[in-house]
Amino acid sequence: MPSSRRRWTLTRTFAVVSTVTLLLLGASLILVTVRVIERQARQDGTESAEAVQAYATAVVPEQAFALGVLDPSTDAAVQAAITGFGDRLHRLRLWTVDGALLFDSSRDETGFPDAVRLDAATRLGQTDARVVTEVDGAAMGATRTTVLDVYLPVQGAAGTIGAAQVTLDYDEPTRAIADATRTVVLVVAGGIVLTWLMLFRTVRNASRRLQVSARDNARLALVDSLTGLPNRRMLTEQLRRVLDEAHRDGTHVGLVFLDIDRFKDINDSLGHDYGDTLLQQVAERLHGAFRSQDVVARLGGDEFAVVLPDVGSVDVARRLAERVRSLFATPFMLEDLQLHVDTSVGLACLPDHADDASSLMRRADVAMYTAKTHHLSVAVYDPDDDQSSPARLVLLGDLHRALADHVELAMYYQPKIDLASGRTIGLEALMRWHHPTRGLVPPDVFVPLAEQSGLIHDLTRVALTGTIRQLARWQADGVDVPVAVNLSAHDLTSPGVADLVEELLAEHGVPARLLQVEITETALVADPVRALATLEQLAAAGVSIAIDDFGIGNTSISQLRTLPVDRLKIDRLFIADLGTHGDEGSRDVVRAMVELAHSFGMRVVAEGVEVPETAMTLRGLGVDEAQGFLYSPAVPAADLPVEAVGWPTAAPTPATSATRTGAPGSATPNGTDAAQPLKSDEDRPDDGTGSRARRTPRARS
């Protein structure tokens, strides 16, 4: 690791610098201390020398210095005066100012003073002490003695009269100094070593701690603190590694993206603590459900990801992705609150959908949004869902053109049947796109495309204009059939759609009661305040309102009570179940919906009725209206069953619910064995739903 190398260099640099510094410091300390000891010793010696001089000169008359001669008795007196100093005094010599020897304790009559030192003592009155090593005897077996040689001025009444040269034995102090120096060196060296060790230890420990915390920080930067799962950064790194291996070994890699449906609502309504607990529980379930080589990560917010190395095929990956979804089947326990939470799961695979980490991640994300918007359990990446895929961009361009040209987009109409009377009591207008090269493009493809790209208002305008024009035509023919137009959630939350409806109705002279609008629950949840304003304006104008795809969202009927809603259209998910041996659960749900809706004065419509049994069941449950392939798919106005638009038919149409739902083996549920000219199957435009369109009499458009 480069950081640990850096840290080691740091410790070593510290070691070198601190050693040099401490050595210099120690040396200076020793030097200064030794100097002080030496100076102190010399000071002591000088004081002794002064005492010797004082004793000696006390008995010498001043004239002796002037004359340069000492009489024998004085000489003896001086000798006697200094005997008290014993061996410590090596030698005493008294000099006159001129350098004549007045007295010498060693009785050597010859000799000269050190002229410079004598001069300094006699003329400047300075005391000068010097340590001198004397070697006595021959080179072999010579004895070395160290002495302190001191020149001191001798004061007379009128000033300096001479000098005393006191030579003291200095062996003892020299030894003491050496001992002291040794001790000082030892103490200082020991101290330095100890200090250094302590400093080094402190620095090394600090450096280690730094190293550990740096490693922790690096780890934390890769781990999500709430769930302990790898974070987006680590996921990206791991994914790169896994993809490199897959490229090398030619294996498949799956990348699953998921998020928690309605997590924001949960967070907002229950609080962030609950939200956090939920995220932790989701993390635990995910973590426990995969192999050790799979990487489960939290991408942030309520988004998680699973990298599936070496998955064999897209199908295997899809099964694993479905496992993710099944992990949410058991409700989550947030303290004593039991919470059912759903998830949207998207899957993209290498090499099938992408061949590098960033596009694989983007595509898994696209798939996840597809799952969310289409209420799929698991969505595998499809380039058609990808807003930025070239195919999608081309289609978007085509939609622009189609919306401007008014040629390729057409309104088809699907009848709504009154279950009690069996009569057609209205139509739903559904848009169709006849694409010049792709053929019929279903609205499930282009409506979301328009919503995502801001073209939805143009699309709604086309739908409303086409439908209201058709209503005007029927009006002119004396046909009085209400038609429902689908509005997108985006229409409700941006201003203008209610004004547009009023304008178009007025322009074409169509009474508002003939127009219905269908809106989904999501439109109400997204921005309830603005949605309500639009709905109220529409209702005030006389337009009736139906809630579409009811039951798959989370709105309750009682929430709708305050809204100006006339109809509830039960989603075909519930209806499909009714046909198959009459699923009890769905039956109960539908029954409850019907009862509640009726109690609020709403009519109930069932969509997606495909078989007579379903229609019968629905009638039994009290559902008011039905719509579905059983009666007719959405067809162009010109192809509507005559009965649907109230056109007088040549042959009677026994359109009772009994014949529709009851006649065994009847291939034509509305019983139109009509004598009207029939349109051939070849002529009939495919409605894009793949249903078998029944032969029906042609109506005028």
Residue 245 Cβ vs ligand C2E, minimum distance, rounded to whole Å? 43
Token pair 């042609």 in the structure block, residue: 698
Interface residue with Ca ion, options 128, 261, 365, 548 (CB under 5 A): 548
Structure tokens given for 173: 């102090």
Query: Which one, of 610, 608, 571, lies nearest residue 590 by Cα?
Result: 571
CB-count burial class (<10 Å; 0-12, 13-18, 19+) for 386: buried
Residue 261 Cβ vs ligand C2E, minimum distance, rounded to whole Å? 19
Q: Contact, 341 vs 261, CB < 8 A?
A: yes
Distance CA 476, CA 145 (A): 146
Interface residue with ligand C2E, options 173, 443, 612, 697 (CB under 6 A): 443
Query: 629 is in the binding site of which of ligand C2E, Ca ion, none (Cβ under 5 to 8 A by kind)?
Result: ligand C2E
Distance CA 538, CA 512 (A): 9
Question: Which stretch in 312-320, 384-392, 442-450, 649-657 sits in contact with ligand C2E by CB under 6 A?
Answer: 442-450
463 contacts: CB under 8 Å, gap ≥ 6: 411, 429, 431, 485, 486
Interface residue with ligand C2E, options 629, 639, 640, 643 (CB under 6 A): 629
Query: 369 is in the binding site of which of Ca ion, ligand C2E, none (Cβ under 5 to 8 A by kind)?
Result: none
Interface residue with ligand C2E, options 314, 347, 615, 634 (CB under 6 A): 634
Distance CA 66, CA 103 (A): 13
Binding to Ca ion by residue 521, rule CB under 5 A?
no
Distance CA 181, CA 535 (A): 104
Task: Give backbone dihedrals phi and psi of 93, rounded to 5 degrees, phi first.
Answer: -130, 135
Residue number, 56 or 644, with CB nearest to ligand C2E:
644
The angle subtended at Cα 257 by Cα 256 and Cα 263, nearest 5°, is: 145
Task: Give backbone dihedrals phi and psi of 490, rounded to 5 degrees, phi first.
Answer: -65, -30
The full 3-state SS of 257-307, as one line of letters, equals EEEECCHHHHHHHHCHHHHHHHHHHHHHHHHHCCCCCCEEEEEECCEEEEE
Interface residue with Ca ion, options 344, 414, 470, 486 (CB under 5 A): 486
Residue 414 Cβ vs Ca ion, minimum distance, rounded to whole Å? 9
Binding to Ca ion by residue 518, rule CB under 5 A?
yes
Residues 224 to 263 in contact with ligand C2E, rule: CB under 6 A: none
Query: 656 is in the binding site of which of Ca ion, ligand C2E, none (Cβ under 5 to 8 A by kind)?
Result: none
| Alpha helices (runs of H) in 376-512, residue ranges in sequence order | 390-405, 443-453, 456-476, 489-493, 497-508
Binding to ligand C2E by residue 647, rule CB under 6 A?
no
Binding characters for Ca ion, 592-611, by CB under 5 A (x = yes): ---------------x----
Binding to ligand C2E by residue 549, rule CB under 6 A?
yes
Residues 416 to 475 in contact with Ca ion, rule: CB under 5 A: none
Residue nearest to Ca ion according to CB distances in the complex: 518
Residue 642 Cβ vs ligand C2E, minimum distance, rounded to whole Å? 20
Q: How many CB atoms lie within 10 A of CB 216?
A: 10
Residue 649 Cβ vs ligand C2E, minimum distance, rounded to whole Å? 23
Query: 452 is in the binding site of which of ligand C2E, Ca ion, none (Cβ under 5 to 8 A by kind)?
Result: none
Question: How, if at all, do strands 128-136 and 143-156 pair?
Answer: antiparallel
Question: How, if at all, do strands 409-418 and 635-636 pair?
Answer: antiparallel
Residue 238 Cβ vs Ca ion, minimum distance, rounded to whole Å? 42
Query: 689 is in the binding site of which of Ca ion, ligand C2E, none (Cβ under 5 to 8 A by kind)?
Result: ligand C2E
Residue number, 114 or 610, with CB nearest to ligand C2E:
610
Size of the site for ligand C2E (CB under 6 A): 25
Interface residue with ligand C2E, options 99, 156, 191, 442 (CB under 6 A): 442
DSSP H or E run through 568: strand 567-570
Interface residue with ligand C2E, options 94, 380, 430, 517 (CB under 6 A): 430
Helices 2-58 and 171-220 cross at an angle (nearest 10°) of 160
Residue number, 84 or 439, with CB nearest to ligand C2E:
439
Question: Which stretch in 61-69, 111-119, 152-160, 628-636 sits in contact with ligand C2E by CB under 6 A?
Answer: 628-636
Structure tokens given for 504: 């178009």
Q: Which long-range contacts (CB under 8 A, 24 or more apart) does 530-535 make?
A: 530/492, 530/493, 530/494, 530/495, 531/489, 531/492, 531/493, 532/563, 534/491, 534/492, 534/493, 534/495, 534/497, 534/498, 535/492, 535/563, 535/564, 535/565
Residue 353 Cβ vs ligand C2E, minimum distance, rounded to whole Å? 26
Question: Which stretch in 33-41, 108-116, 392-400, 512-520 sits in contact with Ca ion by CB under 5 A?
Answer: 512-520
Q: Contact, 614 vs 578, CB < 8 A?
A: yes
Residue number, 188 or 547, with CB nearest to ligand C2E:
547
Question: Which stretch in 229-237, 276-284, 323-331, 484-492 sits in contact with ligand C2E by CB under 6 A?
Answer: 484-492
Residue 361 Cβ vs ligand C2E, minimum distance, rounded to whole Å? 30
Provide the 3-class DSSP secondary structure of residue 356: coil
Q: Contact, 428 vs 416, CB < 8 A?
A: yes
26 contacts: CB under 8 Å, gap ≥ 6: 188, 189, 191, 192
Query: 442 is in the binding site of which of ligand C2E, Ca ion, none (Cβ under 5 to 8 A by kind)?
Result: ligand C2E
Residue number, 153 or 608, with CB nearest to ligand C2E:
608
Distance CA 431, CA 516 (A): 15
Residue 618 Cβ vs ligand C2E, minimum distance, rounded to whole Å? 12
Residue nearest to ligand C2E according to CB distances in the complex: 628
Task: Give backbone dihedrals phi and psi of 190, rounded to 5 degrees, phi first.
Answer: -60, -45
Interface residue with Ca ion, options 128, 365, 549, 687 (CB under 5 A): 549
Task: Give backbone dihedrals phi and psi of 675, rounded to 5 degrees, phi first.
Answer: -85, 0
Query: 634 is in the binding site of which of Ca ion, ligand C2E, none (Cβ under 5 to 8 A by kind)?
Result: ligand C2E
Residue number, 382 or 686, with CB nearest to ligand C2E:
686
Binding characters for ligand C2E, 675-694, by CB under 6 A (x = yes): --------------x-----
Residue 437 Cβ vs ligand C2E, minimum distance, rounded to whole Å? 20
Residues 588 to 627 in contact with ligand C2E, rule: CB under 6 A: 607-610, 627
Q: Please compute, for residue 599, the number of CA atoms within 13 A of its CA located in the half-sphere on the CB side.
A: 8
Residue 432 Cβ vs ligand C2E, minimum distance, rounded to whole Å? 7
Interface residue with ligand C2E, options 128, 259, 294, 548 (CB under 6 A): 548
Q: Contact, 258 vs 344, CB < 8 A?
A: yes
646 contacts: CB under 8 Å, gap ≥ 6: 424, 479, 480, 481
Residues 118 to 147 in contact with ligand C2E, rule: CB under 6 A: none
Structure tokens given for 194: 């100890």
Rounded to the nearest 10 degrees, how much is the dihedral formed by the CA atoms of 222, 225, 228, 233?
-20
Residue number, 236 or 414, with CB nearest to Ca ion:
414
Binding to ligand C2E by residue 488, rule CB under 6 A?
yes
Residue 515 Cβ vs ligand C2E, minimum distance, rounded to whole Å? 13
Positions touching ligand C2E (CB under 6 A) are 414, 430-431, 442-444, 447, 463, 486-488, 518, 548-549, 572, 607-610, 627-629, 633-634, 689
Positions touching Ca ion (CB under 5 A) are 486, 518, 548-549, 607
